[in-house]
Chains A and B, each alone.
Chain A
Amino acid sequence: GQSLEQPSEVTAVEGAIVQINCTYQTSGFYGLSWYQQHDGGAPTFLSYNGLDGLEETGRFSSFLSRSDSYGYLLLQELQMKDSASYFCADRDDKIIFGKGTRLHILP
Chain B
Amino acid sequence: EAQVTQNPRYLITVTGKKLTVTCSQNMNHEYMSWYRQDPGLGLRQIYYSMNVEVTDKGDVPEGYKVSRKEKRNFPLILESPSPNQTSLYFCATRGATEAFFGQGTRLTVV
Contact of B42 (CB < 8 Å), options: A42, A95, A100: A100
Are B45 and A91 in contact, with the CB atoms below 8 A? no
With A42-B90, A95-B33: A33-B97 Cβ-Cβ less than 8 Å: yes
Contact of A42 (CB < 8 Å), options: B50, B94, B97, B102: B102
With A42-B90, A50-B97, A89-B99: A94-B104 Cβ-Cβ less than 8 Å: no
Interface residues on A, range: 20 to 34
Interface residues on B, range: 20 to 34
Are A94 and B90 in contact, with the CB atoms below 8 A? no
State A27–B102 Cα separation when bound (angstroms).
27
Whether a CB of chain A sits under 8 angstroms from the CB of B48 is: yes
Question: Please, which residue of chain B has its CB at the minimum distance from the CB of A31?
Answer: B97
Find residues 41-97 in chain A having any chain B CB closer than 8 Å to their own CB.
41-45, 48, 50, 87, 89, 91, 93-97
Residues of B whose CB lies within 8 Å of any CB of A are 33, 35, 40-43, 45, 48, 50, 56, 58, 90, 92, 94, 97-104
Residues of A whose CB lies within 8 Å of any CB of B are 8, 31, 33, 35, 41-45, 48, 50, 87, 89, 91, 93-100
When A and B form their complex, which 6 residue pairs have the shortest distance between CB atoms, in order from nearest?
A: A99-B42, A42-B101, A48-B97, A97-B43, A45-B98, A100-B42
